[in-house]
Amino acid sequence: MPDRKFADETLCLHAGQIPDQTTGSRAPPIYQTSSYVFDNADHAASLFNLQTFGNVYSRLSNPTNAVLEERVAALEGGRAALAVASGMSAQMTALLTLVNSGDEIVAARTLYGGSFSQMDVNFRRLGIKTHFIDPDDPENFRKAITPATRLLYAETVGNPNLNVLDIEPVAAIAREAGIPLILDNTVPSPYLCKPFDFGADIVIHSATKFIGGHGTSIGGLLVESGKFPWDNGNFPEMVDASDGYHGVRFFETFGDFAFTMKARMEYLRTLGPSLSPFNAFAFLQGLETLHVRMDRHCENALAVANFLQQHALVEWVNYPGLKENRYYDLAQKYMPKGASAVLTFGVKGGFEAAEKFIDSAQFLSHLANIGDAKTLIVHPASTTHRQLNEEQQRAAGVSPDMVRLSVGLEALDDIMWDIDQALHKAC
């Protein structure tokens, strides 16, 4: 690309791709191949030694996935990205690249349920301890750091609590401790929030949500800023000869994309959560309209939040784009273009009324997902958080009357009509 800083709208459509040199194909081709022919024995050897960049096997890299990686890295303002099979595997790959048995993580306790369980259950079984803290006060991150802490972890906007992280002071605490801040930026998408601008070091995405945008494909990405000083003494495995890949010294050899290379060659290669090129294509198609969709998602969500706030059958509304919301100022600072599509509200009448509301909706889809072009609804207390008792549910920020809404792109009047008629049937 020429020496110009292109806007997001342009990057969404062009970053990482030029028309195919051989065929002229304007759309990114789906390279549905498991492996790639070597030119000769020397070429094969230099590929395996990481002396030549190229493709060997699609578990490690694939040209369609590479377009997605470059496009998301460009949108985040990062140096490099790695596409993987899901948001959960993006988190797993990013974290395992940095933590080993005996190490510790400090993480927000408001994480997405699957993210919380990965650290609380799976990582604990591997000898990795996570301290879960209340992220509303950045000082809580500092207080939980020990000499064994390797990273700080949080969501830019929590799902489903919709708590907005004050990124800058948390990034400053990580910098002082010489460890990276890793942020899950799924709810805002790279269009609404740029964590690297505020000092984050690595960003995670569930591409399943707004990047794909149409509820069709599971996938994830990790992105690195390229600015973290891996040779600061805290990450010897980034500097020393690797026992996981031919004695490569990742930081010396790859510099500002050392983390991505280590994640790819030592973890994606051997643990194997690779993204299908077909799904990469679906995400690229999603990204082409990310900016248009996110603007409309935000506009519709704010209007629905205002509508619910004035509704006689609604107890409370939680949307960080509302002036009365406790995270409004943080949302304005970190997501000036809008506070995304997700909101929660309380149905008057509690648990039974909330269930009845869900069953009375005509076209709002009752399912466990966010970020679809269609409006989605779910009642966490009877579904995603069903196995918890009421006290545990409250600790997780889930009340019996709570409905989560991912506001879609249908006509605003129709969305409000369906909500209104369902509320009247429920209460």
Ligand X SMILES: *Cc1c(COP(=O)(O)O)cnc(C)c1O
Rounded to an integer, what distance in angstroms lies between the CA atom of residue 379 and that of residue 358?
7
Q: Which stretch binds ligand X (CB under 6 A): 51-59, 181-189, 270-278, 388-396?
A: 181-189
Rounded to an integer, what distance in angstroms lies between the CA atom of residue 414 and that of residue 100?
51
Site for ligand X in 209-238 (CB under 6 A): 209, 218, 220
Q: What is the nearest approach in angstroms of ligand X to the Cβ of residue 85? A: 8
What number of other Cβ atoms are within 10 A of residue 3's Cβ? 4
Nearer to ligand X, 193 or 426 (CB): 193
Q: Which stretch binds ligand X (CB under 6 A): 107-115, 129-137, 345-353, 372-380?
A: 107-115
The half-sphere exposure of 6 on its side-chain side, counting CA atoms within 13 A, is 16
**E strands, 57-173, where?**
80-84, 104-108, 129-133, 149-155
Reduce the DSSP state of residue 347 to 3 states and report it.
strand
Nearer to ligand X, 117 or 146 (CB): 117
Q: What is the nearest approach in angstroms of ligand X to the Cβ of residue 156? A: 9
Q: Which of 31, 112, 235, 319 binds ligand X (CB under 6 A)?
A: 112
Q: Which of 76, 104, 166, 184 binds ligand X (CB under 6 A)?
A: 184
* Site size toward ligand X, by CB under 6 A: 17
State yes or no: residue 206 binds ligand X (CB under 6 A). Answer: yes
Residue with tokens 């990580």: 174
What number of other Cβ atoms are within 10 A of residue 149's Cβ? 22
Q: Which stretch binds ligand X (CB under 6 A): 37-45, 56-64, 180-188, 285-293?
A: 180-188
Q: What is the nearest approach in angstroms of ligand X to the Cβ of residue 153? A: 11
Q: Cis omega before residue 138 (within 30°)?
A: no
Nearer to ligand X, 88 or 361 (CB): 88
State yes or no: residue 304 binds ligand X (CB under 6 A). Answer: no
Partners of 151 in beta bridges: 105
State yes or no: residue 141 binds ligand X (CB under 6 A). Answer: no
Q: Which of 103, 155, 166, 224 binds ligand X (CB under 6 A)?
A: 155
Q: What is the nearest approach in angstroms of ligand X to the Cβ of residue 242? A: 28
Amino acid 287 reads L
User: Exposed (0-12), middle (13-18) or buried (19+): which is 127, by Cβ within 10 Å?
Assistant: exposed
Rounded to an integer, what distance in angstroms lies between the CA atom of residue 334 and that of residue 133?
21
Q: What is the nearest approach in angstroms of ligand X to the Cβ of residue 180? A: 18
Rounded to an integer, what distance in angstroms lies between the CA atom of residue 42 and that of residue 26?
33
- Asked if 410 contacts 297 with a C-beta cutoff of 8 angstroms, the reply is no
Q: What is the nearest approach in angstroms of ligand X to the Cβ of residue 63? A: 22
Nearer to ligand X, 259 or 283 (CB): 283
Site for ligand X in 249-268 (CB under 6 A): none
Reduce the DSSP state of residue 247 to 3 states and report it.
coil
Residue 127 has what DSSP assignment?
T
Q: Which residues bind ligand X (CB under 6 A)?
A: 86-88, 112, 114-115, 155, 159, 184, 186-187, 206, 208-209, 218, 220, 370
